């Protein structure tokens, strides 16, 4: 039995939202039309488990309803005709196509299809070669980077402090108040939120991203867009989330430094700290390294991040682990005494370990949504205090 196979079999663990959902989630509020090129299933999975806004916000997210015959015959004209007809009727601000496993196997050129659709409709169109075999993070990342490339133009830079929040989707932040708390935290420090990519802002607001003096990358899916905005407009970025009162001071200090110097900053990049039984944080890299930085600022030691998702270089410290296979996670947690993670990781914890539940929408979907806390600013301190009881 090969090691490779061991890493692809999950006996008890869940799975993260996929790249195609990431594209849909990132573009959800921007007035476009996103089409998942798939037979069936992607749409109900996305709308049920990955998209908490589905019931209340009528975003144009559809399925191409690919059939075997059309896949085998390479009938891209059917996709083009259906998307064109619907787009001309609904007049979205843009069109996005996101692929799934079978279009990958049959080699559908979605960027090429998008160019044809754009010519036919006059509506900006993107094709993302997602395939359902990666997590949501590359999907969000590519969608936001495409917006930054295509829609953002030069603007007069704000004189006063201002920020774009990059990489904010319900998959990482849910809809329990974190996005609003983030805005509030910036505003409370006199920093105007120019736009939030992409919760609570319009496409026009995103298009004016160059006005902001600095970009705040709040998940690893915001890094690519930050890179584009850096290249195109020279805007520096700061990576992290302002969790906990103590770390928030450091975070906003870094933000001011970045704005002043034009250099990027990563205030969440800290080491695990030596001493004591290990505390493991499982989840998305920016979120969890920020939580680690906050815990370290509160005096905790030996706090290690276990990232089961795609992770850009430089986000994790050498003490951290980037593993995703169930057996690897079990092994990594062998000596853990305290684990902060989504409750669906509970089955792989050693018997002696305590779990502090920190549900992650991209992992457990809507199941534990009501328990997803807001950790921005001093809310983390209160959450920790509550967990101590």
Residues lying near other proteins in the complex (CB under 8 A) are found at 1-2, 5-6, 8-12, 14-21, 35, 39-50, 54-55, 58, 60-69, 71, 82-83, 85-86, 88-91, 100-102, 104-106, 131-135, 344, 347, 364-365, 367
Cβ proximity to other proteins: between 48 and 261 the closer is 48
| Nearer Cβ to other proteins (68/385) | 68
Nearest Cα residue to 16 out of 241, 169, 242: 169
Rounded CA-CA distance 90/33 in Å is 9
Distance separating alpha carbons of residues 299 and 239, to the nearest angstrom: 22
The contacts of residue 366 (CB under 8 Å, 6+ apart) are 48, 49, 52
Residue 237 Cβ vs other proteins, minimum distance, rounded to whole Å: 29
C-beta of 8 vs 261, nearer to other proteins: 8
Nearer to other proteins, 7 or 301 (CB): 7
The C-alpha atoms of residue 287 and residue 299 are separated, in whole angstroms, by: 19
Using the minimum distance from each CB to other proteins, give the nearer residue, 227 or 308. 308
Beta strands across the sheet bearing 279-282: 303-306, 279-282, 338-341, 354-357
In the bound complex, what is the minimum distance in angstroms from residue 282's beta carbon to other proteins?
17
Q: How far is the CB of 133 from other proteins (least distance, A)?
A: 5
Rounded to whole angstroms, the Cα distance separating 220 from 338 reads 25
CA 259-312-42 angle, 5° bins: 110
| Shortest Å distance, C-beta 85 to other proteins | 7
Alpha-carbon distance of 133 to 112, in angstroms, equals 21
CB of 6 to other proteins, least distance (A): 6
Nearer to other proteins, 38 or 205 (CB): 38
Q: Which is nearer to other proteins, 103 or 227 (CB)?
A: 103
> Smallest distance, Å, CB 123 to other proteins?
12
Q: Report the C-alpha gap between 77 and 108 in whole angstroms.
A: 11
User: Minimum Å distance from CB 352 to other proteins?
Assistant: 19
Closer to other proteins at the Cβ: 8 or 371? 8
Which of 126, 171, 149, 145 lies closest to 22, judged by CA?
171
Q: Residue 294: enclosing H or E segment and its boundaries?
A: helix 285-297
- In Å, the largest CA–CA distance within the chain is 63
Nearest-approach distance from CB 104 to other proteins, in angstroms:
7
Phi/psi for 63 (5° steps) reads -115, 145
């Amino acid at each position: 039995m090969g090691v490779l196979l061991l890493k692809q079999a999950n006996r008890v663990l869940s799975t993260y939202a996929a790249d195609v959902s990431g594209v849909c989630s990132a573009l959800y509020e921007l007035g476009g039309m996103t089409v998942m090129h798939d037979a069936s299933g992607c749409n109900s999975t996305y709308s049920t488990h990955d998209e908490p806004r589905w019931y209340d916000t009528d975003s144009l997210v559809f399925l191409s309803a690919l059939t075997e015959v059309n896949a085998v015959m390479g009938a891209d004209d059917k996709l083009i005709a259906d998307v064109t007809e619907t787009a001309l009727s609904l007049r979205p601000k843009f069109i996005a196509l996101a692929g799934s496993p079978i279009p990958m196997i049959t080699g559908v050129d979605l960027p090429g299809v998008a160019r044809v659709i754009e010519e036919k409709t006059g509506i900006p169109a993107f094709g993302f070669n997602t395939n359902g075999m990666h997590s949501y993070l590359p999907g969000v990342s590519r969608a936001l980077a495409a917006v930054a490339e295509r829609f953002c133009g030069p603007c007069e830079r704000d004189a006063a402090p201002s920020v774009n929040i990059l990489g904010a989707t319900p998959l990482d932040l849910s809809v329990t108040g974190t996005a609003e708390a983030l805005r509030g935290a910036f505003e409370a420090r006199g920093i105007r939120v120019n736009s939030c990519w992409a919760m609570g802002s319009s496409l026009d607001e995103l298009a004016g991203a160059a006005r902001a003096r600095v970009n705040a990358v709040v998940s690893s899916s915001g890094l690519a867009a930050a890179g584009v905005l850096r290249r195109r407009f020279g805007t520096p970025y700061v990576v992290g989330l302002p969790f906990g009162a103590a770390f928030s001071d450091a975070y906003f200090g870094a933000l001011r430094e970045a704005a002043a110097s034009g250099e990027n900053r990563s205030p969440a990049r800290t080491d695990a700290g030596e001493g004591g039984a290990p505390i493991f944080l499982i989840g998305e890299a920016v979120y969890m390294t920020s939580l680690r930085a906050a815990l370290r600022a509160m005096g905790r030691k030996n706090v290690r991040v276990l990232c089961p998702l795609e992770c850009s270089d430089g986000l994790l410290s050498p003490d951290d682990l980037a593993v995703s296979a169930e057996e690897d996670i079990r092994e990594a947690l062998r000596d853990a005494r305290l684990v902060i993670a989504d409750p669906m990781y509970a089955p792989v914890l050693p018997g002696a370990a305590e779990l502090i539940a920190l549900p992650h929408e991209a992992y457990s979907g809507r199941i534990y949504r009501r328990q997803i806390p807001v950790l921005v600013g001093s809310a983390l301190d209160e959450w920790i205090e509550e967990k101590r009881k």
